[in-house]
A and B are shown apart, each in its own frame.
Chain A
């Protein structure tokens, strides 16, 4: 899951036969690189003008703004609550902890349409708890929060488990209070993991379709997210528009993932 936090170790390759890199690269090409290049190629078929026209159309811009804003907000919320939940799961003990730990991954297992339907029943017009926020931008954020819950937790948890308790004890023996220890000792160690969790959550949120399409209402300029906008362009046989928007979304996610990785490299160098 922590794709960004690559182990900083020289490749030895001793454990696996020498064909392993070849297999890995072929696999990646077939599964990821080829489809992405096909997309890129298709998006440029109409020329740069058509590309620009598609992504700068007012409805496209509105959908992009909503999507990126919501994704950013959701990754920030995840940073706080994901870290909190990871902390509770690692440092506290309570009855049913194992069960809670397993529950975290369920949003991954649930088909997104089902997730949308469930949230719709719970927070929709016939809400049994009297909360109706569907068909608003709040609903977009809610759906994305559900879908991206595991990322930060699952990035932070292993780091927290490995974290040397002696550092905290040393800080305490030097007179540091609880919140100071957390801010000055624990948090700096967790930051790379939090960031990589946030980046994954962000990328996932940007592409989410199934749950958002049910909850948001899909009104252009108001609650229509980028993925739904892209779907509408495909349905209108406007392939250039759809692929151009997709390329923009992918580029933004790529930039986010790369900067997190750079940040991580910088901070680990900085530590030494």
Chain B
């Protein structure tokens, strides 16, 4: 956790030079919201913000929006980028800001534990599912190429791995067997892109048989006419994305986050591919995506009672962890 507080001076420098608002912005000027988010909800915010502007409390509020890889965005805010509202792909990225005293430790004290929209890890296959991929065991079969980003560069990849690992546990495997599964799985991964969007591009570019992806990304790609289809595995992980206001947030920023839990906002999230957290709006999602499946879901805390904090050390420490060992074993067997 202490590592979260470490501020890389280079990032600080980059943020200082590149930050648009400088230090003036985070201040409580009512009517202005600096939104810093990970990249996938950009399409949702394109609809959410105009809708918020039509509400009484949102009238005349202006937004500055910044989207990018979740970890990068979180590090930039920790290093000084102005932010009123932050929306990330995984909880540790908010935790980094809590450690930096930029977000209140009570940020998740609401009915929804701070999560604003859910999605899940799904399989994306070629149209017609030529390799007959239906469950997690199909991914480790010989001759099946699986595309997933590099777990050390991509937050999305970490979700994918925890989905695979958790699904094995749900099938009654021991942790050792589930780790072996991850190793087998990664022997079928020929490309490890640096982020989820690049992996999607690699897949639509013709490489691989299965892509592990966010459901929301996959639905939008399918909608935009890519030659792919979604396969819902029997069980998968529920991806919960957290939203929070910073301690310096404008009133407008706080209003906006409150509004994000209204039926109106949750409906827009549903229409743009997210599973709403306000359960009364589930129907909006089913209406927009009638063919979406309903796999058995588990959360990160089901996989590891220590949550992300524990998982990051155990699975993704770059010097000594389960994934680091798996990557080494693959390297030894494949490098020429």
Interface residues, chain A, with chain B CB atoms under 8 Å away: 35, 38-39, 41-42, 53-54, 57-59, 62, 120-121, 124-126, 134-135, 137, 213-214, 217-222, 224, 228, 231-239, 241-243
Contact = CB atoms under 8 A, between A and B. Distances in A.
B9 A232 contact: no
A217 B203 CA distance: 12
Contact of B206 (A126, A220, A242, A243): A126
A interface secondary structure, majority = helix
Contacts of A218: 150, 153, 191-194
B153 A222 contact: no
13 contacts: A59-B324, A59-B327, A126-B205, A135-B191, A218-B194, A219-B189, A221-B331, A221-B332, A231-B194, A232-B194, A233-B152, A233-B318, A238-B319
B328 A221 contact: yes
A221 B334 contact: yes
A219 B318 contact: no
A-B pairs, top 6 by smallest CB distance, nearest first, are A221-B331, A125-B206, A232-B152, A217-B191, A126-B206, A236-B318
Interface string B300-323: 000000000000000011110000
A219 B319 contact: no
Contacts of B191: 135, 217-219
B319 A125 contact: no
B328 A214 contact: no
A220 B205 contact: no
B63 to A, nearest CB: 26
A222 B331 contact: yes
Nearest to A241: B318
B10 A38 contact: yes
A181 B51 CA distance: 76
Contacts of B150: 218, 220, 224, 228, 232
B114 interface: no
Nearest to B5: A237
Contacts of A120: 205
Nearest to B316: A236
B interface secondary structure, majority = loop
A221 B335 contact: yes
A236 B96 CA distance: 12
Contacts of A54: 319
B320 to A, nearest CB: 10
Given A38-B9, A219-B192, A233-B318, A58 B4 contact: no
A231 B11 CA distance: 12
Contacts of B263: none
Contacts of A135: 190-191, 207
A142 B230 CA distance: 34
Interface of B: 3-4, 6, 8-10, 13, 69, 71-72, 75, 150, 152-154, 189-194, 198, 205-207, 316-319, 324, 327-328, 330-332, 334-336
B207 A125 contact: yes
A59 B328 contact: yes
B165 to A, nearest CB: 18
A189 to B, nearest CB: 40
Contact of B331 (A124, A126, A220): A220
- Name which of A41, A137, A218, A236 has the most chain B CB atoms within 10 A of its CB: A236
B328 A237 contact: no
Contact of A57 (B9, B71, B319): B319
B190 A235 contact: no
Contacts of A134: 207
Given A135-B190, A221-B328, A232 B8 contact: no
B153 A219 contact: no
B151 to A, nearest CB: 9
Contacts of A38: 9-10, 13
Contact of A124 (B9, B13, B72, B207): B207
Nearest to A220: B327
Contacts of A53: 319
Given A214-B193, A234-B8, A234-B75, 18 more contacts: A35-B10, A59-B331, A124-B206, A135-B190, A135-B207, A213-B194, A217-B192, A218-B150, A218-B193, A218-B194, A219-B192, A219-B331, A220-B331, A222-B330, A233-B318, A236-B152, A236-B318, A237-B4
A243 B6 CA distance: 13
Given A42-B9, A232-B153, A221 B330 contact: yes
A217 B317 contact: no
B318 A42 contact: no
- Name which of A120, A218, A242 has the most chain B CB atoms within 10 A of its CB: A218
Given A62-B335, A221-B332, A231-B194, A42 B207 contact: no
A235 B154 contact: yes
B13 A237 contact: no
Nearest to B3: A237
Contacts of B194: 213, 218, 228, 231-232
A125 B72 CA distance: 30
A127 to B, nearest CB: 9
Contact of B334 (A42, A59, A222, A233): A222
